[in-house]
Amino acid sequence: MITALALLCATNLASAEAERVGTATRIETAVNGDYGTVEVKEPVHRDERIVTSRSGLGEFVFRDGTKLAVGAGSVVKIDKYVFDDSNSVKKLSIKAAKGTFRWISGNSKSTAYSILTPAGTIGVRGTKFDFYVGADGKVAMVLLSGRAQFCGTGGCVQLQRKCDCVIAKRGQRPALTRASRKTLTALGNTKALPFLSDNQHLSGGFGSSSDCGMSVAVLDTPNDTTPATKEQSAPNRSQPNKPDAPNRPDTPSTPSDPGTPDTPDTPTPDKRGHGYGDKNHTHTHDPQGHAYGGANGGGKGHNK
C-alpha cells in the first residue's frame, strides 16, 4: 500500500515538474501521453510521447504559436524545447516515429525548428506542410506554403513551391516530385496523408489552402470489387414474397342442353277416311290392323 502511494506521488510530482510547452486544442477519439489520456485544454510537456488511436486525432498549439496536428495511428515525441522568451523558442524539435502530421510554424526563427524522421531530417523555413512516416520507415512530405528542406542519405532536397513533394527511404537519396494522385499509390497507403486526401478533417486554424489534387486520389481505389449485377427491385420488408398463385384451371364448359326431344307429330286423320270429324267414332281392329266391319263403315265394333 505504501509502495503504491509512493509511486503515485512520484508520478504526480514528475508531471508537475515537467515543463509545459503547449496545449491540446482538439482531441478526437483517443490520444494518450506519458501522464495518461490527453484532454482538450490540457498541457503537453517537453520529452512527452504522444500516441493517437487508429481513428484518433490531436491538435496542439505550442507556446510560441507553432501548431502540430497528429493524425490517426501516430507516435511522436516532443524531443527538445528551449525557450528564448515568452513568445519564441531557441530550439523546438520533435521525433516522428510513425503516422501522419501537419506542421505550421509559429513566432520563432525558422532555424529553431527541426523534425526528425527515420529517413532524414526536415528543416523548416517559415512553413506549413504535411508529412507521413510509414511503418517501414518510408517518409513523404508535401509543402503547402513557405519553404523547407529534407536532408537524408546522400544529400538535401529543397522544397520551394506549393505542392512540392519528397518521398524518401532509409539509406536512399530523397527524390523531389510533385504531389498528385500518384503520391499515395507510391506510398502504398491511401490514408498516408489524410488531411490532403480528405480522410481526416482539421479545424479551421489548421485547414489546408490546397489539397494538391490528392483529395480525389482515394477515388482511384474502388471500395467494392464485387462484380456488378443486374439491378433487382427490393422485396417488401413487411411481407415476404409469395410465390405466384398457380393458374386456375378453366371451368369446363357446361354441355349444351340437349333439350326436350321433339314431340312426334300427331298423324292427321285422312279426311277421306271413315268417321272423319266424329269425336265419338271408335272402332276395333283385328290383329292385322283391319277394322271390323264392312267396307261401308258399319257393323261390329262401331259405336255411334
Q: What is the pLDDT of residues 41-54, one digit of tens each?
A: 999 999 999 999 99
- Model confidence band, residue 134 (pLDDT cutoffs 50, 70, 90): very high
Residue 100 lies in a domain: yes
Q: Tell me the three cell numbers of residue 276.
A: 272423319
Residue 50 lies in a domain: yes
Residue 263 lies in a domain: no
Indicate the number of domains in the chain. 1
Give yes or no for a contact between 141 and 123, defined as CB atoms under 8 angstroms apart.
no
Residue 177 lies in a domain: yes
- Is the pLDDT at 110 greater than 70? The verdict is yes
d(CA 187, CA 184): 5
Residue 77 lies in a domain: yes
Residue 159 lies in a domain: yes
Q: Which residue matches cell numbers 371451368?
A: 251
Q: Which has more confidence, 240 or 251?
A: 251
Residue 99 lies in a domain: yes
Q: Which residue matches cell numbers 524518401?
A: 168
Least confident piece of the model among 110-124, 129-143, 289-303: 289-303
- Show the domain range for 30: 13-219
Longest dimension (CA), the chain: 172
DSSP state of 285: B
Mean pLDDT of 8-30: 75
Tell me whether strands 139-152 and 155-159 are parallel, antiparallel or unpaired: antiparallel
Q: Which has more confidence, 255 or 125?
A: 125
Residue 265 lies in a domain: no
Find the helix or strand (DSSP H, E) in which 114 lies: strand 113-117
For residue 208, the model assigns a pLDDT of: 66
CATH number reported for the structural domain that contains residue 159 in this entry: 2.60.120.1440
